Amino acid sequence: MAITQKLCNAGLTAGAHVFQASQDTAVTTIHLCNITSSDATVNIYILKSDGSTTVPTENMKIYNQLTIQATDTFIVDTEKMILSTNDKIYIETPDSSGLIVATISTIGL
């Protein structure tokens, strides 16, 4: 099991991913912690490493405009995600009023 922790970005760029699978990997949980006193809006994307694009698009969203209240944490743990080598997770905070720290728990397959 491995833990990755990263501050999420306000925009989407090729290098702004919060996690990249180095091998076939199961994502067991994603904790999204709002470390500010303002609500935060979050979009989560999965980018498949098929070479079709280097930045996720709207049709790659798995969570859209999720609001995480000030100083609260949201946990994604209902369904496990299986990623192939080099697949990426992007977590975007399009409103800059809240800061989100993402903690991603994974296990190699």
What digits encode the pLDDT tens for the residues 23-68?
A: 999 999 999 999 999 999 999 999 998 877 788 889 999 999 999 9
Q: What is the mean pLDDT of the chain?
A: 92
Could you say which architecture CATH assigns to the domain 2-108?
Sandwich (2.60)
pLDDT category, 107, cuts 50, 70, 90?
A: very high
What is the C-alpha to C-alpha distance for residues 37 and 35, in angstroms, rounded to an integer? 7
Global pTM reads 0.91
DSSP, residue by residue, 7-74: EPBSS--TT--SEE-SSSEEEEEEEEEE-SSS-EEEEEEEE-SSSS-SS--GGGEEEEEEEE-TT-EE
Domain spans, the chain: 2-108
19 forms beta bridges with 89
